[in-house]
Structure 1
């Protein structure tokens, strides 16, 4: 999980400089020990400011990822929560999990709709989430899975503007948790919840049989 999140920081740092019209980050790494026992440290130059990694690492890649994380945290420290959180939920594997936990905490039951349209010779898909009296529409996508992730991303961005107190801790908990990959492979709530209930009922039936037959 750690390497995936660190890569997100590095990508976000590059996207940030492009968005604000600055030069791309310039990385430099150097080995503070021998080749047999490498201790790499990195620094990055962003908008005339140099950031340096606090710790050394065994590979150049690791240390560049760490210094990117430090730089993102510093740059976004003065920004609002809406602006500072995107790099934490850009990974598609996090989006559905974040949104699923949000609707559970808010005790909402989402509805969803997948729209398919023909564009040239290939179909495009647009996914809609609806809950709390609002509908969140994702961007066009070439497949259903991506369409659903894009709609979740849209919903999270908008919800951070109105429900940051609830959503922000959820996002941070996902980044700090080892449970990086969500277990809800189905829709936001219904399919996953019903599967857990079926499993629980099956386990109870087995325990009851054991009691009756003395096994």
Structure 2
């Protein structure tokens, strides 16, 4: 999943496709792999060794996406594209699945004039509700709520072991 998202990000950003390198260690009957991905000139490494090459590459891609998304949409072209692709919604769903929590639930509220509506989205994840910035349409309001939740979870010091552990 992460390799596909990173490749999509590269294509939307007109960057070169991600390239992976791998380090293999251990005996032939029990090899271990650690991967790194070069994305737009930045190198992101898998945090630990994995039992398969595929797992190591996905781990490196996950590190890249997490790093790029933590910069926020205003700090880089890549982060803005991440917001546009809805990767924050995917990351929240992945977190919920990892910890056995119900999938995120989105609610959108419409306000404003009939011809100039304003949509505000919320997302509930594991009993916590996050509210995003207002938007011009429902889809963007949901993305904004997911981005607000992701940003909040990344900054929260008491939740990483529950929400953000690998």
Please tell me the TM-score bracket, short chain as reference.
0.5 to 0.7
- Partners of 1:19 and 1:74 in 2: CA distance: 18
| Secondary structure of the corresponding residue to residue 17 of structure 2 | coil
Given that 2:20 and 2:36 are in contact with CA atoms closer than 8 Å, whether structure 1 keeps it comes out as yes
Q: Which residue of 1 aligns with 2:68?
A: 75
Greater C-alpha radius of gyration: 1
Given that 2:20 and 2:37 are in contact with CA atoms closer than 8 Å, whether structure 1 keeps it comes out as yes
- Partners of 2:68 and 2:106 in 1: CA distance: 27
Q: Which residue of 2 aligns with 1:168?
A: 148
Task: Give the structure with the larger strand fraction.
Answer: 2
> How far apart are 1:61 and its partner, in Å?
0.8
Q: TM-score, normalised by structure 2?
A: 0.54
Task: Give the structure with the larger helix fraction.
Answer: 1
Map Cα deviations across residues 134-168 of structure 1 (whole Å, 9 max, x no partner): 599xxxxxxxxxxxxxxxxx73423444xx4x873
Q: Which residue of 2 aligns with 1:158?
A: 141
Q: How many corresponding residue pairs? A: 118
Q: Which residue of 2 aligns with 1:17?
A: 10
Q: TM-score, normalised by structure 1?
A: 0.44
Q: 1:132 to 1:167 in 2, by over 3 A?
A: farther
The answer to which of 36-45 and 81-90 deviates more is 81-90
Structure 1 unaligned blocks of 5 or more = 1-6, 109-130, 137-153, 178-215
- Partners of 2:150 and 2:71 in 1: CA distance: 21
Q: Please report the RMSD computed on the Cα atoms of aligned residues, expressed in angstroms.
A: 3.7
Matches within 5 A, 1:53-72: 53-72=46-65
